[in-house]
Structure 1
């Protein structure tokens, strides 16, 4: 690519979010950029874009909707065009608000708390099978099945479709690490098309056989007195699938890896269930999976850097949640950290609508895992970046003779 003339050479970093860099290395890189270059840097990778790593700058950029928008088609790290907007992720203003109002009742905190018993039931079923084996691969055996089962239950999609949906979503949002930009455009486009066709199939099946579930309720919702157009409905279901099948599982598996390396943290979680809400918040801070993407609406200044209208901007909340200006000793995991104004769910009008559900699933996951699985050890792990940062694999083991099933 040709780097824009307004990008200072001393702010350029070599960062490929779709490369083979792992999470620890990415955090270290972001910390170095902040120290050596400032809160805003530039990468030529994936078409070229700004990376914002300072907490103050991230807050300003995400809250002030007059500066940056989500609807610009060029926002994605690897652009897939042509396609319909992902709803409400890539909508702004009143249009975004309209669709958020439709979704809000499904994700109200009170309703999410009522799901806690269902989450526990699924967690206990998974753990009853895993505990006697003495080891597991946390991502595939526990974190993903738990999060995905709850999402599929909410939208009433077949549980047997879980694995193929997870694989499609993973390739849609992250591509494949190490592949070229051209190859990832193809990989992401193919995965998105597969998810799109699946969502269309769910809509068609409900038109043929009406039922009562979240998908049907969304189909019956109206915007300006008219049914939601099919292309918008599909975009909405795709966004829900990406959030429900990937992000919460990412935080769960990152946390288990961390706990496996620190027996004292495991013991802390086991000793007192009332500690878990604060533990969840700290795991969200250190394991934030998503950094919002935007495009500049007009020329502006952010962190002392000139950003031009149309520039793409990656607000790296993962780095903002480790900014020493706001988080004392930011690289230390403090399970009692207070206050904890992390950025795991984003900020402003696009703040993650599934925050309450994520907190319920994470709290239950940490509670039930440590109630059933005795002290465990890390065998090996592998992390990956992308549109969603997470673990590709976390293998842990424990002594079977210490297992006590409820």
Structure 2
């Protein structure tokens, strides 16, 4: 308990986005950059934040100042879609979505019925998040309740805010990975009661995707959501054109892929749909009307050949969006590398993705996508003290490039183009250093 009450004082260069915006062009006006700032946290929350010259009256006695004069401090990265059981199968060769699931994913996930194995991978997974500057994530587990316990227990050791849930899947998968509608309901209900709101843990009802759930299972998933309206829904949507055609065959009574989820009560302000590469206009309208969110996963969309996500349309349609690494179809835990690929995806569509918009999606915009903008995403007083210390010159090439940087925006863009886990100097979770890069 003493660590919970610990006070931390951090000094350095700080950069965040002050407020949510309705269009990308407004983000630059909300950028807050302190060349020499101070953040004071107490009991995991930001108690004071401002310039060094105003800090004297707020500095607590007897607390050492952790000073990072050459580094850049930003809010912790938020990953809105990732699979912890797929950690060990990153970079599996040669398939698109449906074949990739059958060839690689399902055999890997069968191992997670073993609690010891699940615990080992969960701890590795959490360490990788921290090593890459991710302080909050929305996570797929497997069909096994043991996988959920293992992940939340690993996150709890770091007081880390994770949202996760047991996969619901009762068809079109190996028997060893299938549950039943009733078992999915009872297991999920028990896990909600056990974990949702315990510390910083939050639960997500998690049907894998419409083809692997019967109508009966989706109906019970919707019933769970009605019974626990403050839990999340986390699933996949319109990732691959073959997948979309399959959904239309399986659910002919619905008006399309998203309408399957909507019909069963699974859209809403805490519903996050990964990918959404090929949404129809009516589906964009439904996403907006229901306040549902999208997880944009550029590295996996490119790796599986799924398509180019129209990020610009999220602004036009006013649909919440966050970034997802989507390990293990995604190829990196690192949000800097994810933003590097996101930039290229937009370039291929004739659009630009600025450094400040990138930071927004990785922090405050991601918090909004998870309905956590009141708790996370910037350095506002009262928010949870999750932040990362970035080394902009982790390699010789980066050092050369940063010496030519024309201001903070150019420096940030170079970091997001060239950066990786070597640039994460330290990760602070709930006010405490949870990861420090080895010297």
TM-score (norm 1): 0.24
TM-score (norm 2): 0.23
Q: Which has the higher strand share?
A: 2
Q: Which has the bigger relative contact order, CA under 8 A and spacing at least 6?
A: 1
